[in-house]
Amino acid sequence: MRVVATLKNSSTVLPIARQTKPHIILLDGSLKNIKEPSVITTVRKNLPNVKVIGMGFVPSQTEIIEFVEAGASGFILKEATIKEFLGTIRIVAQGGKVIPPSLTDSLFSSVIEHALKKGEGKYISTPSITKREREIMVLIADGLSNKEIADRLNIAWLTVKSHVHNILEKLALHNRLQIAMHSQEEKKN
């Protein structure tokens, strides 16, 4: 990796990028005069082979959607370790997309909300939940702990933990209480 330029404001991004021909632009949202989504859109429109990675503090759900829609290939949090920082750059350089794990729940929730607002989709309650995951959801709603669920279903505690994690991911939920509430709503419907 080689740094070819550093800039203090967004007005020079495009001319310097045309001159230096970078593969990746790291865009620090805390700098003056930087409106990340508009800069990303401009770079992607004028230099389609250049990938852009946003950098900053934890963005809002709206900001995450704006980054993705503008064409960003990734986002790095300010508190990222050097290993995470370099890993993100390498993945993006190879054509991948990277969002820090701590932002994925927020991103998925935003994507669902965004699609519903645009009328481009319908919320499907649980299309990919397995039979075992449904059983675990009901037992969570009944107030059982992972160990109690494991004992009741005669499976390992870590297996229950894995199922709970999968349920949270699939349904874009954040905690067991939300799983219990979702399970109760399904019973009503």
pLDDT tens digits, 141-172: 888 999 999 999 999 999 999 899 888 888 88
Q: For residues 141 and 9, give the distance between their C-alpha atoms in angstroms, rounded to a whole number.
A: 52
Q: H/E element holding 188? A: helix 176-188
Question: Would you say residue 106 has pLDDT above 80?
Answer: no
Given strand 74-77, what is the order of strands in its sheet? 24-28, 51-56, 74-77
> For all residues of the chain together, what is the average pLDDT?
80
Domains delineated in the chain: 10-118 (3.40.50.2300), 131-188 (1.10.10.10)
Radius of gyration of the chain (CA): 21
pLDDT band at 98 (very low <50, low <70, confident <90, very high): confident
Which has the minimum average pLDDT: 22-31, 105-114, 173-182?
A: 105-114
> Residue 28's beta-bridge partner residues?
55
Name the pLDDT band for 117 (thresholds 50, 70, 90): low
Question: Over 50: is that where the pLDDT of 12 sits?
Answer: yes
The phi, psi pair for 122, rounded to 5°, reads -120, 145
Say how far apart CA 159 and CA 146 lie, in whole Å.
9
